[in-house]
Amino acid sequence: MGIDTVFIITLVIVVLALSFDFINGFHDTANAIATSVSTKALTPRVAIAMAAFMNFLGAMTFTGVAQTITRDIVDPFKLQNGSLVIMAALIAAIAWNLITWYYGIPSSSSHALIGSIAGAAIAAAGISSLNFSGFLKIIQALIFSPLIAFAIGFTIYTFFKFAFKNLNLAKTNKRFRHIQIATAALQAYTHGTNDAQKAMGIITMALIANNYQTTTDIQFWVQFACAAAMGIGTSVGGWKIIKTVGGKIMKIRPVNGVAADLSSAFIIFGATFIHLPVSTTHVISSSILGVGSSHRVKGVKWDTAKTMLVTWVITLPISATLAALSYYVLSLFM
């Protein structure tokens, strides 16, 4: 390919990656503010504006997860037909995100992107193209983080029940509604520290594959562009997913919301600190399930939880398959 062609393909990948980040903003960030909206701690308009700013701030703070995405799924320096692989992965991940958003199913953008990168790479060069140690480390983080979030949500709410058992319920909920503004902001910030970095990582993969850089360092313009795309996407909002997470899992009161927000923020920021991508959707939903189980097991709408679980399980293989198909189609024209 000529220099102009490589530049155009790289530009298309950057646009696709920023589009993915934009969609991630209104798809996944809905989870971060769903509890505060459902308890009326914040109006939807204020919650979305706050989340957009905090997401942008979080995305500008760290780059460790981005470097993990860049190098741990496949080796970008040895990636066969790198541009096609990355383009196919983004097309598949965006398609799956839009499908699940349309039906209001809180699936994982992280699963979609990681599964898509793996599927496209396997289609291009076989299963040996995967960096197995790094890929398995990422999969373990995606699997175990919701389980830990459930346990921490259950534990924090159990502590709350014990600590505040003698207080007036109405007054307690009013106080927790104010606290929930802070915990919702914290959760939106932690979401930005982890989720926005995934698009940064895939843009960096493309820059390496097309010889525009020789290290896995994240360039400032990449970080800023991805942070802005996620912030703008957040400002659009994701009402269908807010409705599912905020009301269809359990009836959330402010004290429940604070417990769930603290649990998920702890897990997401912990993962960011050790440079591992996790799913905000999985972590927040699992935290709410943990809180709900501690509050009253029968009060949890387990049918909704089962639907989400099925979506979580099928996202990786479906996105990988979509990416492989996208790769084969693109290879016919490029």
pLDDT tens-digit map of 61-90: 999 999 999 999 999 998 888 899 999 999
The band of 242, judged by pLDDT with boundaries at 50, 70 and 90, is low
Each residue's pLDDT tens digit, 27-46:
666 666 777 777 777 777 78
User: What is the Cα 17 distance to its own chain's centre?
Assistant: 14
Report whether 280 contacts 268 (CB < 8 A). Answer: yes
Share of the chain above pLDDT 70, in %: 90
Lowest mean pLDDT among 94-108, 220-234, 262-276, 280-294: 94-108
Exposure class string for 73-108: b at 16+ Cβ within 10 A, else e: bbbbeebebbbbbbbbbbbbbbbbbeebbeebbbbb
Classified as helix, coil or strand, 215 is coil
pLDDT at 239: 55
pTM across the whole model: 0.89
Find the angle CA(325)-CA(85)-CA(11) to the nearest 5 degrees: 120
CA of 252: how far to CAs of 37, 136, 320, in Å? 10, 35, 35
The span from the CA of 287 to the CA of 186, in Å, is 15
Residue 219: how many other CB atoms lie within 10 Å: 16
